[in-house]
Amino acid sequence: MLRAFRPRQAVLAAVAGVAFGFATTAAQAHTPLFSCYDNGDGTVLCEAGFSDGSSASGVPVRVLDANGGVIVDDKMDGNSEFTFTKPDGDFSVLMDAGEGHRITVPAADIY
């Protein structure tokens, strides 16, 4: 038995597919990005943002010692940058934009 073409069902299926595609993309489009560089003058520069192009301005950032103790507690500036004096010994830098949006950069990865 042949079924009649139903344009309304076709349109609803297309809309649902497009909506699902946007929802999937939106769920993946806000990945945090965070990198730190040794300036060679005793300071470290960290840059942050999100994969969808949004700013990380105001996002908390912490420099932690080897035991997880806080050395510096600050925020990303208006340019989504953070500069600090490089501590002696082992340390890491944590960008904390909330659950699922935290990135830690260990000192060994800063060069």
Prediction pTM value: 0.74
The CA distances from residue 28 to 20, 42, 91, 107, in Å, are: 13, 36, 30, 28
> Could you tell me the CATH number of the domain that includes residue 38?
2.60.40.3080
Question: Does some domain include residue 101?
Answer: yes
**pLDDT attached to residue 30:** 85
Average pLDDT of the residues in 16-24: 41
Question: Does some domain include residue 18?
Answer: no
Q: What is the mean pLDDT of the chain?
A: 83
**pLDDT attached to residue 22:** 42
- Evaluated on CA atoms 53, 57, 59, 61, the torsion sign reads positive
Range of 70's domain? 32-109
Domain count for the chain, please give it. Answer: 1
Token pair listed for 45: 């520069």
**pLDDT attached to residue 89:** 95
> Of the candidates 27, 30, 32, which has an alpha carbon nearest to the alpha carbon of residue 104?
32
Question: What share of the chain has pLDDT > 70, as a percent?
Answer: 74
Residues 6+ apart with CB under 8 A from 93: 34, 36, 44, 46, 61, 62, 63, 64, 82, 104, 105, 110
> How far apart are alpha carbons 22 and 62 in whole angstroms?
34
pLDDT digits (tens, 9 = 90+) for 70-110: 999 999 999 999 999 999 999 999 999 999 999 999 999 99
